[in-house]
Amino acid sequence: MTVRSDMQTGTASGSDALAQDFVQFAVECGVLRFGEFKTKAGRLSPYFFNAGLFDDGAKLGRLAQFYAQRLLASGMQFDMIFGPAYKGIPLGTALTVELARLGHNVPFAYNRKEAKDHGEGGSLVGAPLQGRVLIVDDVMSAGTAVRESIALIQAAGATAHGVVIALDRQEKATEGGQDVNHSAVQFVRRQLGLEVCAIARLDDLMGYLAQHSVAGLQDAAQQVRAYRDRYGVDEQD
């Protein structure tokens, strides 16, 4: 089955109401926090997005609504969903259920980190990988999970077609310990040839902070802006 929409608003912008609602939701859930956090690249980030804290049925259900709304609005076409272990498994499951509720019932599969040597065996669980596969994840730091997913999908004879994530950090990736002039999202688009759809971007977070500075977030807004100035990427593809 192909899921698509006639709407063509797949990427978030600073004035995007859906993105602003999502940022507020993430803040209220404690998923999006402000302070000083060390990233995988060794940078000190003024914010941290931990999708593992969408940790009950109500939060996951609302999160799935955001994913589904953004995805259907993007016009992206795909035939099934794949959730890479580990965070991609609950995210992909919730999204698949929400899409079915909206009338778009598609197959779903996920992988194990370690292959099973009994029962059905193998590292893949769920529907057979076939057609155009959509990968679901929370954020994309280095694109490692995506590349691993692509290898699994191609080995099964299917096509990795796109990725949907919750937050695009819009910051430079690192290669060999050095900053490069593209983000992980841009790498996946340009080098791997996949479509990428994000519920919100760092620019949306900055817009939220600017609108809520009276709520004691003035320092956070300044720190996030400085971080964007230092590590942000040129969005011109």
Instruction: Enumerate long-range contacts of 154-160, CB under 8 Å, 24 or more apart.
Output: 156/124, 156/128, 156/129, 156/130, 157/129, 157/130, 158/80, 158/129, 158/130, 158/131, 158/132, 158/133, 159/131, 159/132, 159/133, 160/133, 160/135, 160/192, 160/194
Instruction: Name, in order, each residue with C-beta under 8 angstroms of 84's C-beta and a sequence gap of 6 or more.
Output: 110, 111, 135, 136, 137, 145, 146, 148, 149
Whether 118 is catalytic is yes
Given this model, what pLDDT does residue 39 score? Answer: 86
Annotated catalytic residue within 87, 116, 161, 182: 116
Sign of torsion over alpha carbons 153, 161, 110, 48: positive
Helices (DSSP H) in 78-201: which residue ranges?
88-101, 144-155, 184-190
Given this model, what pLDDT does residue 179 score? Answer: 82
* pLDDT tens across the length of the chain (237 residues): 555 443 333 443 444 899 999 999 999 999 999 999 998 778 899 999 999 999 999 999 999 999 999 999 999 999 999 999 989 999 999 999 999 999 999 999 999 877 655 445 478 999 999 999 999 999 987 677 888 999 999 999 999 999 999 999 999 988 877 788 899 999 999 989 999 999 999 999 999 998 886 666 888 999 999 999 999 997 655
Q: Are 32 and 23 contacting, i.e. CB atoms less than 8 angstroms apart?
A: yes
Q: How far apart are CA 153 and CA 17, in angstroms?
A: 34
Given this model, what pLDDT does residue 176 score? Answer: 76
Given this model, what pLDDT does residue 98 score? Answer: 98
Q: Are 83 and 163 contacting, i.e. CB atoms less than 8 angstroms apart?
A: no
Q: How far apart are CA 62 and CA 85, in angstroms?
A: 21
3-state secondary structure of 9: coil
Given this model, what pLDDT does residue 78 score? Answer: 97
**Is the omega angle on the peptide bond into residue 67 within 30 degrees of 0, that is, cis?**
no
Q: Which domains are present in the chain? A: 17-231 (3.40.50.2020)
Q: How far apart are CA 93 and CA 83, in angstroms?
A: 8
Whether 172 is catalytic is no
Annotated catalytic residue within 118, 161, 182, 212: 118
Given this model, what pLDDT does residue 144 score? Answer: 77
